[in-house]
Structure 1
């Protein structure tokens, strides 16, 4: 699986980058049909304490799978986004027909 990360209006964060790589590699072990993952980290200036956004787009057979979360830190946003992706991947796997 090919993984690309991008930081938009945010300072590059090696911890978040490494965390998302590790979690996506773990997903790729369970779902070997994932082709590519595009990860976008964004930072919004808000007064409510949140504003660290993690978007992940997975390319796989069928429509792309997308998940996003807005949390206080990139690490929490990554964890929440990966949880959302796991739910969608389980559903996609159950809908796949064997050859």
Structure 2
């Protein structure tokens, strides 16, 4: 699986990249049919403090899978987004099973 990471309105973070790659590698081992991941980290102008956004789009057989989380910390947003993707991938894998 190839991973494209983009940062919008912020500096690139090596620690965030490391966490992201580790989490996506776990997904790639569990679901070997994932082709590519496009990841976007960005800051929004939210006065409530929930201004860290993580968006991940996965290319896989069938329609693309997308998840987005808005939190007060990028790591929390990343974990929530990956968890949502895992649920979607699980549903997709059940559709692949033949009876």
Gaps (5+ residues) in structure 2? none
Kindly state the Cα deviation for residue 45 of structure 1 after the two structures are TM-superposed.
2.1
Separation of aligned partners in 2, 1:15 and 1:67: 21
Report the TM-score when normalising by structure 2. Answer: 0.95
Q: Does 1:80 align with 2:63?
A: no
Aligned-pair Cα RMSD in Å = 0.9
Kindly state the Cα deviation for residue 97 of structure 1 after the two structures are TM-superposed.
3.9
Kindly state the Cα deviation for residue 85 of structure 1 after the two structures are TM-superposed.
0.2
Q: Any runs of at least 4 consecutive aligned residues in structure 1 with deviations exceeding 4 A, and if so which?
A: none
Equivalence for 1:47? 47
1:42-98 Cα shifts (integer Å, max 9, x gaps): 101221011100000000000000000000111000000000000000000001144
Equivalence for 1:9? 9
**Does the residue aligned with 1:32 lie in a helix, a strand or coil?**
coil
